[in-house]
Chains A and B, each alone.
With several copies, the nearest count.
Chain A
């Protein structure tokens, strides 16, 4: 089992998908010659040619819009949006076309397009390069929204996304692109399942993407206070794997959900509301949310304080126990 960085794990996942299916095409800004600003598509154009690894004009709406057209022709495009903050020009194509075409056509049309988005902060970037906008797409019926947190999932989830017939918003936590881990030769979970990454008895900590590592550290630190935190990596943000989530909360009786995005009307709100509906009598405290502040993403010098860190996660855990 090779040890790969998250970035390289996606690269090999894309490469394998392209070898398995000649209809898979990669497209986006600078994905060809350059291999993408995060090198995720490095070398693919060299090996698969410029017709299958397409350096596009600088127009997100058309990157997604032409990908839809390619899908209608029988292709399986995977689009790269260079940074999270630049997906908005494609918003109409994503929510009104990509997400709705199956329903609008009465189920006649499938539009298997994967939209890859490097997401979140923590890399000291300038404005618009650190956004967490998953809630917009999670609220959009007709899309699958998934987020990987490490190399194993990154590799297999992108392949599963490309193998399915649904449009998928595929989030890649950019601050974890260079984190390394083994990638197995077989997927160990389907795309629509959450993963208990650290079993625990006392409280359920739900998270995803770049925050998974942070929450695992928090869980380790909490052992000192004798607290046994169960950490669940949601993986699929829409639909949510409520069975796995509820099973954990039914066990622990407490729940904290942590993400980088602002909490107001964020994904944590859905998780909190849904968990409360499913586990009402079992909850010893309300589901508490930890997230970015409800402000635009701040300048780089503030991001360590803006992003939920170990202290803020544990503070929420403390408040949950203190309830």
Chain B
């Protein structure tokens, strides 16, 4: 199966009758803006980690098209279960930079209210969110709602039993669920060919899921395919999987040293398929972009960067009491006693 591609690396547009998309100036500018903001935010977070303001950061660099193109194809009330690298998707849902950073600064385990954004907290245990999304979709199904559920995950996660149980379960139960895999070719140092012999979209078909392969660095293709598939699911067509082929341009995380396991030529090669440059080329060609717009977006990026730096140093941190009170609905006697003992000990220092 060839990946669906509407926008070539050089920025030339090839319409595909199977995946209709009205490529308006507004749409292109919207994608350009969202991807630019996401990249700038990612840059800034990286810098903050390097300055010691964040404990860890996992970059979305290079995966902006896969995330922006897909999440914008969903309805605002379609619940989303991300993995941990979906910063671009999160920003599209209105999650703030402060909410995105707090977990990585170590102030909290998660930063936002899933109900407010219809966007679940990040899941770090690989593939654990797939059964959650499947169950949530079972709920949607039982409610007779016309929402769909989307779950994001990476290529490496697909080797986990829980991922495959979910492919099977979702197909058997015919729940309104979209599996969205960002195949960025790497799981830390492990290349996709070590994870699997056959491509994921082929496996998905084997489970009885509708499956599609798309160029994950082509925001237009990702959007067109996700829009069509989402509506098909909403219409009762059953669960589907989209494999978006992209590339992890940075290390796995700020703790990683990709130089140990992959050579730069691969990186150079993928640089030529950059999702933003590609869209910009089209926009230049079509006259959808001018200096005024560039300045406008640059201004927004600068503002976001400034805000990101500012909020990072002021990120809220809860009182330690919260540790004891958020274990169960009610603090147990044992926890209350532990808290009192600890507070007494701390108090004793001052004397």
Direct contact of A and B (CB under 8 A): yes
Determine how close the nearest CB of chain B comes to the CB of A175; give it in whole angstroms.
Answer: 14
- Considering only CB atoms and an 8 Å cut-off, how many residues of chain A contact the other chain? 78
Tell which of A1-9, A64-72, A204-212 binds the partner: A64-72
- The answer on a CB contact under 8 Å between B125 and A96 is yes
Tell which of A30-38, A181-189, A225-233, A253-261 binds the partner: A30-38
Determine how close the nearest CB of chain A comes to the CB of B335; give it in whole angstroms.
Answer: 6
- The answer on a CB contact under 8 Å between A70 and B135 is yes
Chain B residue at minimum C-beta to C-beta distance from A164: B329
- The answer on a CB contact under 8 Å between A89 and B108 is no
How far, in angstroms, from A85 to B333 measured CA to CA in the complex? 27
B345 adjacent to chain A (CB < 8 Å): yes
B108-121 interface bits toward A, Cβ cutoff 8 Å, 1 = contact, 0 = none:
11100111000011
* Best-surrounded residue of A25, A89, A306 (most CB of chain B within 10 A): A89
A221 adjacent to chain B (CB < 8 Å): no
* A57-B172, A106-B318 known; A72 vs B132 contact (CB < 8 Å): yes
Residues of the A chain whose Cβ atoms lie less than 8 Å from the Cβ of B143 = 73
How far, in angstroms, from A88 to B138 measured CA to CA in the complex? 23
- The answer on a CB contact under 8 Å between A301 and B106 is yes
Residues of the A chain whose Cβ atoms lie less than 8 Å from the Cβ of B157 = 58
A199 adjacent to chain B (CB < 8 Å): no
A70-107 interface bits toward B, Cβ cutoff 8 Å, 1 = contact, 0 = none:
11111101000000011011001100110000111111
B267 adjacent to chain A (CB < 8 Å): no
- The answer on a CB contact under 8 Å between A34 and B135 is no
* A55-B190, A264-B334, A293-B323 known; A104 vs B135 contact (CB < 8 Å): no
- Considering only CB atoms and an 8 Å cut-off, how many residues of chain B contact the other chain? 72
- The answer on a CB contact under 8 Å between A93 and B189 is no
* Best-surrounded residue of B135, B326, B338 (most CB of chain A within 10 A): B135
How far, in angstroms, from A307 to B108 measured CA to CA in the complex? 17
How far, in angstroms, from A86 to B55 measured CA to CA in the complex? 20
How far, in angstroms, from A299 to B162 measured CA to CA in the complex? 26
Q: Pick the contact of A66 from B114, B134, B188, B194 — CB < 8 Å?
A: B134
A273 adjacent to chain B (CB < 8 Å): no
- Give the interface SS of chain B, mostly helix, strand, loop or mixed: helix
- The answer on a CB contact under 8 Å between B132 and A61 is no
Q: Which 5 pairs, one residue from A and one from B, show the smallest C-beta to C-beta distance?
A: A69-B135, A65-B131, A300-B106, A73-B139, A66-B135
Chain B residue at minimum C-beta to C-beta distance from A298: B323
A51 adjacent to chain B (CB < 8 Å): yes
* A62-B166, A92-B128 known; A295 vs B134 contact (CB < 8 Å): no
Q: Pick the contact of A107 from B160, B169, B326 — CB < 8 Å?
A: B326
Residues of the B chain whose Cβ atoms lie less than 8 Å from the Cβ of A74 = 139
B252-290 interface bits toward A, Cβ cutoff 8 Å, 1 = contact, 0 = none:
000100001100000000000000000000000000000
How far, in angstroms, from A96 to B349 measured CA to CA in the complex? 35
Residues of the A chain whose Cβ atoms lie less than 8 Å from the Cβ of B113 = 108
